[in-house]
Amino acid sequence: MTSRPQATRTRKPPGERRAEILHTAARIALDEGLERITLRRVADELGVRPGLIGHYFPAADDLVSEAFAHAAAQERDTLLPPGAHEADRSPTARLAAFLVRLTGADCLDLSRLWLNARHLSRFKPGLRATVREQESLTRTALTGLVEEGVRRGEFRTDDPLGAALHILVTVDGLGAYANDDIDSSDDAGDSDSDDLNHPALQDLALTVAEHRLALTPGLLRAAAI
């Protein structure tokens, strides 16, 4: 009888394996929260031993910080792509798409992740530094978009950074309610939940941006369609 040859286990290159670990941890963070990221949980998701995860991330807190950075960077590149990748779209259209998508239901998990990270960063210095870095990168990207809009004559402001800060603080303020599930059956008769679903709040970030950039009211919502 001919014996069946044993399957050879393929060892992934370190860079590929590390990226796989980060991607998996970031998905867990978005779906369930940063607290759910453990070496064992990531190992179970990938079907490997926890020791392998520990080889790349000896400290679980480092994995949490990098997973948050990975998730935040991916979402930022999707919502606010660099100008070189958006040459065929006006700054107005790009800003409109960014704000409508970021404040919509599709980005609810992202809003929850930021809320989660800011809370945990109070107790985790490494995560706190990562949150600040990601905030700075997003602020720089949005400020650059505002500056481009000013150069093209679409926006009017003498303070692009100030305008970007007003917009981002408004978005963050709306994100503070990300854990309020206004569509759940538990809140069906809750007047406070109905208030949070008011149309004025749905367009608040757009209204602030239009005011700060001297745009016609309603222009950004129309540009996003």
- pLDDT for 152-201, tens place per residue? 999 999 999 999 999 999 999 988 888 876 454 455 555 555 566 777 77
Q: Greater confidence, 202 or 114?
A: 114
The two three-digit tokens of residue 74, written as one number: 């991916």
Are the CB atoms for 178 and 33 separated by under 8 Å? no
Inform me whether the pLDDT recorded for 9 exceeds 60: no
Residues listed for the chain: 225
Q: From CA 188, how far away is CA 165, in angstroms rounded?
A: 34
Against a cut of 0.75, is the pTM above it? Answer: yes
Residue 21's pLDDT is what? 97
Inform me whether the pLDDT recorded for 51 exceeds 60: yes
- pLDDT for 15-41, tens place per residue? 999 999 999 999 999 999 999 999 999
- pLDDT for 62-101, tens place per residue? 999 999 999 999 989 888 887 666 668 899 999 999 999 8
